[in-house]
Amino acid sequence: MSKYSILLPTYNERENLPLIVWLLVREFKENGHNYEIIIIDDNSPDGTRKVAEQLQQIYGEETIVLRPRAAKLGLGTAYVHGMKHATGDYIIIMDADMSHHPRHIGGFIDLQKKHNYDIVTGTRYSKGGGVHGWDLMRKLIRLYKKAVLEQLVAKCQSKGYVFQMEMIVRARQFSYTIGEVPIAFVDRVYGESKLGGNEIVSYAKGLLHLFATT
């Protein structure tokens, strides 16, 4: 049976984390998939790591894998860090802030199996998708074959919010097959956006560099 590793980078997600984990556990149990949830917390000052430890006690160490880091080092590097500890055949990357509902994951898995896609990504532009309270810099939920993700990560240079966009650009360069699932995006349930002024500037600079080098 295939195994799925869900990477959840967190920074100040104490309120959202229990809900997203509960929904993920329910989704995977209902569909009978083998899985693990890898939480990569960047030393959140709000106590996110303590909540993650409590969730690990509830669901078990095989289900909840904690791989914290010493500081806030960027979204891209968080995925790289989590991937190094993933034991699944497939890796799913998503936000912990409930902007992506786990109910969509079954559609990702079904589509990937049906067509043997290398990557499956959520899109708001397909029929059936939607967006609520979102801007253009939000992150997307994605499913990767582990070997594909490892190759893409080795080629990617971005470290922040541009990371996921660069992954798709590089994937097209390698002619990987990409499937799309229409999903609805919503704004975060609890907490504040992580996008400060400096991060928006860094995002814009990262985009310019990406377009200039690919």
Report the CATH number at residue 13: 3.90.550.10
Asked if pLDDT for residue 190 goes beyond 70, the answer is no
This prediction's pTM: 0.80
Whether 154 and 146 have beta carbons less than 8 Å apart is answered as no
- pLDDT digit string (tens) for 192-209? 545 445 544 554 555 455
Distance CA 124, CA 131 (A): 6
Share of the chain above pLDDT 70, in %: 76
Whether 189 and 98 have beta carbons less than 8 Å apart is answered as yes
Question: Total domain count for the chain?
Answer: 1
- Pairing between β-strand 90-93 and β-strand 142-145 as defined by DSSP bridges: antiparallel
Domain that holds residue 29: 3-213
Share of the chain above pLDDT 90, in %: 53
